[in-house]
Amino acid sequence: MISPTMGPGEGAEGEGLASREQLEARIHALCLQGAYGQAVELAMRSYGPELRRLMASVLHHPELAKDAFSLFSENLVKGLPGFRWESSFRTWAYRLARNACYHQLHAPASREQPVSEPGANEPQRIRTDTHPWQRTAIKERFRALREQLEPHERLLLMLRVDQRLPWTEIARVMGEPDEPLTRAALNRRATALRQQFQRVKARLRALAIEQGVIPADRLDA
């Protein structure tokens, strides 16, 4: 079975989940004590690198990603005292990061600035300039294919495949700022996102076949 979107290794998944729960508890405890500055520092030290990677993947431009991270940091500091802990801190942070990315994408300055797509031409180069035995591993080539997707599609794949968030948490991240987050609304959005996820995977398979990453007869994947 083809896996066009491969995430990190699975060996330490249980251990990672336990440590993340401990981290969430520490951040929550600091907030309960009113030590918001320490909570932000701990959160940025722990979650900052993965959030930076997400923003770089979604935005495809170093300056836009830098500005988005600055906006995210500002909103985190401002919003943390009012965070109601209806989700994990990590999920809320991803939502702030998503909103910061979309703000940059829709800002007038970003539309005037050409956005580099380093991965967009990579599959074509691989197909035309190299022999099969010189090509990168399938995993890396699928990562290159992912770079051709729309920003919201890349974000969806990263949240589900790379970060392994549950669908209801992804629904929280991907929801609009003014969208109600009732259980029923979350379930409806989660269902829609699962369907979108299947369509994105189908599109990746089509791209993989078109660009020679997988044989055309591998349609049962």
For the stretch 31-62, pLDDT in tens is 999 999 999 999 999 999 999 999 998 888 88
Q: What is the pLDDT of residues 155-179, one digit of tens each?
A: 898 899 888 899 999 999 987 766 6
Q: Are residues 96 and 184 in the same domain?
A: no
Q: Are residues 209 and 123 in the same domain?
A: yes
Give the chain as a 3 state SS string.
CCCCCCCCCCCCHHHHHHHHHHHHHHHHHHHHCCCHHHHHHHHHHHHHHHHHHHHHHHHCCHHHHHHHHHHHHHHHHHHHHHCCCCCCHHHHHHHHHHHHHHHHHHCHHHHHCCCCCCCCCHHHHHHHHCCHHHCCCHHHHHHHHHCCCCHHHHHHHHHHHHCCCCHHHHHHHHCCCCCCCCHHHHHHHHHHHHHHHHHHHHHHHHHHHHCCCCCCCCCCC
> Is pLDDT of 109 > 60?
no
Q: How many domains, in total, are found in the chain?
A: 2
Q: Is residue 5 part of a domain?
A: no
Domain that holds residue 44: 32-116
- Between these two residues, 3 and 133, which has the higher pLDDT value? 3
pLDDT (0 to 100) of residue 110: 47
> Is pLDDT of 137 > 90?
no
pLDDT (0 to 100) of residue 105: 87
